[in-house]
Amino acid sequence: MSDSLAVTRLLNGCVDLHCHSGPNPFPRRFDHVEAAKDAERLGMRGVLVKSHHHNTVMDLLAMTDQLAGSSTPVFGGIALNSQVGGINPGAVAMCLRMGGRAVWFPTFSSGRHIDCHPEGSGFPTATVEVPSSRVDIHQENGELVPEVFEVLDLIEESNAMLSGGHMEAASIKQLFTEAEAKGISKMVINHPNFVIGAEPDQCRELVALGAYVEHEAGMYDPEGSKKWDPALLLDWIEQIGPERTVIASDLGQDGRPMPVDAFIRVATALLDLGLDEKSLRQVFCDNPAFLLGLDD
């Protein structure tokens, strides 16, 4: 097994693009300030905090004093679920112009997610009742709703990251095709083999548009509530290529591991399976730093 101190050194300066710290209606193990503190253990260059329910930029602005002492900056964004009005250019404009770095298209409000998790199954119970409804990005004729183009213009204006959320692969491709035409270069498909249902061939089509494929350490953590063997993650990296792969945590939920612990364990497993050190840094450090705009 790879030496843990050596792995920690290799991960120094990594970036987490998918942290579910609180506050949130879903129970969370830690808040954004504690996420930053955890990230300091690896000298992370940045953490992107995500809520399915609200714009996290405003959380961070309210926590400015508490976050000031951290050496790891924390960034926010907005997920376009029904709680923010769905495909809502006004909400996106406020988020990005207040410092947001990411826009996730519908996650649990997407039709694909609802089909996979009817009536919220597979997700924790919210601590308060939060009404939720489906958000579609299409008109009846199959074309994208006009608001999508307004949102893409705002993302291009801010050079922010665009995520396909939990939509099906065909809708993500349609969205990314329009995004690529507008000059958007920071595009991500999240956990393609969870909810999305995208095979490597479909992901390569998205990569051809300029997208990156994000996998979640929380789903491959050998000591966490892992969903898959790390060998599958290595296979994905080899099929897509480390130059277009990102590993994030997707952690913060109550009862699950801390992101840094999962990063170290998954990185160790990948090295033991044969991933070279340069590729490891590419997927944990270099690619996510680009997507978060830390190299701009």
Number of domains in the chain: 1
128 membership: H or E segment, kind and range? none
CATH number at residue 48: 3.20.20.140
How high is the pLDDT of residue 119? 57
| Alpha-carbon gap, residue 230 to 265, rounded angstroms | 10
Q: Among candidates 87, 239, 245, 243, which has minimal Cα distance to 167?
A: 87
Among the listed residues 79, 162, 76, the one whose alpha carbon sits nearest the alpha carbon of residue 113? 79
Query: Residue 206 is part of which domain span?
Result: 4-291
In a domain, 296, yes or no: no
171 sits in which H/E element: helix 169-181
Q: Would you state the structure tokens that stand for residue 191, as one six-digit string? A: 């956990």
Residue at 233 is within a domain: yes
What is the sign, positive or negative, of the torsion defined by CA atoms of 37, 39, 189, 219? negative
> Is 70 exceeded by the pLDDT of residue 96?
yes
Token couple for 90: 């006004």
Classify residue 47 by its DSSP letter: E
Output the pTM of the full model: 0.95
How far is residue 127's CA from residue 26's CA, in Å, rounded to a whole number? 6
What are the phi and psi torsion angles at 120 (to 5°)?
80, 5
DSSP run (H or E) holding 173 = helix 169-181
Tens of pLDDT, residue by residue over 180-230, are 999 999 999 999 998 899 999 999 999 999 999 999 999 999 887 767 999
Task: Please name the residue that has the structure tokens 């409000």.
Answer: 109
Supply the DSSP symbol for 227: S
At residue 42, the pLDDT reads 97
- Within 8 A by CB and 6+ apart from 170, the residues are none
Residue 97 lies in a domain: yes
Q: What percent of the chain has pLDDT over 70?
A: 97
Q: What percent of the chain has pLDDT over 90?
A: 85
Whole-number Å distance between alpha carbons of 80 and 159 = 18
**Does the structure show a pLDDT above 60 at 269?**
yes
229, part of any domain: yes
In a domain, residue 220? The reply is yes
**Number of CB atoms found within 10 A of residue 119's CB:** 6
Judged by average pLDDT, the poorest of 233-237, 250-254, 280-284 is 250-254
Residues 113-157 have pLDDT tens digits of 888 876 555 567 778 888 889 999 999 999 999 999 999 999 999
Instruction: Find tokens 């999962």 and name the residue.
Output: 262
pLDDT band at 103 (very low <50, low <70, confident <90, very high): very high
pLDDT score, position 71: 97
Which of 265, 207, 259 is closest to 236 using CA atoms? 207
Please state, in angstroms and rounded to a whole number, the distance separating the CA atoms of residues 132 and 120. Answer: 10
Contact 81, 141 (CB under 8 A): no
Contact yes or no for 79/52 (Cβ under 8 A): yes
Tokens for 44, please give them: 């992370």
Query: Using a CB cutoff of 8 Å and minimum separation of 24, what contacts does 115-119 make?
Result: 116/195, 116/197, 117/195
pLDDT for the residue numbered 38: 97
Q: How high is the pLDDT of residue 226?
A: 66
> Cα(23)–Cα(95) distance, rounded to whole angstroms?
17
pLDDT at 5: 84
